Amino acid sequence: MKAYLGIDVGSVSINIVVLNEAGEVITGLYLRTQGRPIEVIQEGLKQTAGHLTPAIEIAGVGTTGSGRYLAGVIVGADVVKNEITAHAIAASMIIPDVQTVLEIGGQDSKIIILREGIVTDFAMNTVCAAGTGSFLDQQASRLNIPIDQFGELALQSGTPVRIAGRCTVFAESDMIHKQQMGHRIPDIIRGLSEALVRNYLNNVGKGKEILPPVVFQGGVAANAGIKAAFEEALGIPIQIPEHFNIMGAIGAAQLAREEVTITEHTRFKGFKITGLPYRTGSFECNGCPNICEVVEIYEEDKVIGRWGSRCNKWDIVE
């Protein structure tokens, strides 16, 4: 049985998915990157191989995320695509007529606008933490509350407290002030959830026409308090896919399937790469005034990939 592998490498998590021919998830993993993307990719592939039967043949591989080029050269990807394309494809697989995709991860957030199945607009936030999952993680830690209980507590609030959410520093000091005034923890948490949503809509979603169906994906979609805050702010229902936290990888796998339908072969190196030694290095190219920092990756002692240069001087020709 043919199947397709998708890998989404981000700064916080690495997600690995295997889809069957019908686009259904055979197996999916959500792993913490922990600053060790190569080792975690290898470990994730080892776990994935353990979940597959001998009858399953990987017929195509796609990579996405901020570390997509790194993952691509390691596994032998058939397609390497940006996160916007991968998340839009995945959302369209679940809800074909989706018009808005809200995606909030640990370190960044994005909005994708689709019309008739085509991405017409998008925006990303990679600078301010106040609109991302790390904002909630920090405040949960300060309140000494497990992050997985955050959403449930937010829904227990009857009178949410307004908290300044334009900046994590201001939000934190405002939250402490509200605690000192005697406000209940559920009310503070609901206020934090609404602050994150306000920040998202005022920055990432600014000027965007948010129309239903709206799909909410990314790790933060697990938080029921954030979903409720979005629904209240937008006045429309929010849909959360079953595999909300690995949607980028699902999109990458689907893109790989479409690619190999055309090429009729895969570049996948096989699961044997889980046992190979890899290392990365970098150097500055002084060939022109750009002075590019070129990153290269070694498989054993062979350079298998380079990126970062503005020209093709250091490209590896296969």
Q: Mean of the pLDDT values across residues 236-244?
A: 95
Q: What is the pLDDT of residue 14?
A: 94
Q: What is the pLDDT of residue 315?
A: 83
Is 2-89+248-275's fold the same as 97-240's?
A: yes
Average per-residue pLDDT for the chain: 89
- pLDDT higher than threshold 60 for residue 283: yes
List the strands of the sheet with 278-284, edge to edge. Answer: 278-284, 293-299, 302-307
Q: What is the pLDDT of residue 131?
A: 61
pLDDT-above-70 percentage for the chain: 96
Q: Mean of the pLDDT values across residues 233-241?
A: 96
Q: Mean of the pLDDT values across residues 212-234?
A: 92
List the CATH code of the domain at 2-89+248-275.
3.30.420.40
pLDDT-above-90 percentage for the chain: 58
Domain ranges of the chain: 2-89+248-275, 97-240, 278-307
| H or E element, residue 154 | helix 150-155
Interatomic CA distance for residues 215 and 52, integer angstroms = 29
Quickly state the pLDDT bin for 127 (edges 50, 70, 90).
low
Angle at 101 between CA 96 and CA 104, to 5 degrees: 140
Quickly state the pLDDT bin for 135 (edges 50, 70, 90).
confident
Identity (one letter) of the amino acid at 179? Q
* Residue 27 contacts residue 83 (beta carbons within 8 Å): no
Residue 29 or 140, more confident: 29
Residue 130 or 15, more confident: 15
Q: What is the pLDDT of residue 165?
A: 62
Residue 2 or 173, more confident: 2
pLDDT tens digits for 294-311? 999 999 889 998 888 889
Q: Mean of the pLDDT values across residues 194-212?
A: 90
Interatomic CA distance for residues 110 and 1, integer angstroms = 35
Q: Mean of the pLDDT values across residues 189-212?
A: 89
Q: Which of 26, 245, 15 is nearest to 133 (CA)?
A: 245
Q: What is the pLDDT of residue 160?
A: 80
- pLDDT higher than threshold 90 for residue 178: no
Q: Which of 155, 152, 196 is nearest to 175 (CA)?
A: 196
Q: Mean of the pLDDT values across residues 123-138?
A: 72
Q: What is the pLDDT of residue 240?
A: 96
Q: Which of 263, 286, 287, 301 is nearest to 77 (CA)?
A: 263
Q: What is the pLDDT of residue 90?
A: 97
- pLDDT higher than threshold 80 for residue 203: yes
DSSP state of 37: H
Quickly state the pLDDT bin for 121 (edges 50, 70, 90).
very high
Quickly state the pLDDT bin for 168 (edges 50, 70, 90).
low
Per-position DSSP letters for 233-248, written without gaps between them = HHSS-EE--TTGGGHH
Report the CATH superfamily, name and number, of domain 97-240.
ATPase, nucleotide binding domain (3.30.420.40)
Q: What is the phi-psi region of residue 87: left when phi exceeds 0, alpha when psi lies from -120 to 50, beta otherwise?
A: alpha
Q: What is the pLDDT of residue 300?
A: 86
